[in-house]
Chains A and B, each alone.
Chain A
Amino acid sequence: GAVVSQHPSRVICKSGTSVKIECRSLDFQATTMFWYRQFPKQSLMLMATSNEGSKATYEQGVEKDKFLINHASLTLSTLTVTSAHPEDSSFYICSARRPGLAYEQYFGPGTRLTVT
Chain B
Amino acid sequence: GQQLNQSPQSMFIQEGEDVSMNCTSSSIFNTWLWYKQDPGEGPVLLIALYKAGELTSNGRLTAQFGITRKDSFLNISASIPSDVGIYFCAGPSGSSNYKLTFGKGTLLTVNP
Contacts and interface: CB of A to CB of B under 8 A. Distances in A.
Interface string B97-112: 1111011110000000
A93 B43 CA distance: 9
Contacts of B40: 91, 110, 112
B104 A103 contact: no
B44 interface: yes
Contacts, number: 60
Given A42-B104, A44-B43, A97 B98 contact: yes
Contacts of A17: none
B42 A93 contact: yes
Contacts of B103: 43
Contacts of B45: 2, 104-107
Interface SS, B side:
loop
Given A43-B88, A43-B103, A51-B97, A107 B48 contact: no
Given A44-B102, A103-B31, A104-B48, A49 B41 contact: no
Determine the interface band of chain B, counting residues with CB < 8 A from chain A.
20 to 34
B100 A103 contact: yes
A49 B102 contact: no
Determine the interface band of chain A, counting residues with CB < 8 A from chain B.
20 to 34
Nearest to A106: B45
A57 B41 contact: no
Given A34-B99, A102-B98, A107 B88 contact: no
A25 interface: no
Interface of B: 31, 33, 35, 40-45, 48, 50, 88, 90-93, 97-100, 102-105
10 contacts: A4-B42, A6-B42, A93-B43, A97-B98, A102-B31, A103-B92, A105-B45, A107-B42, A107-B45, A109-B41
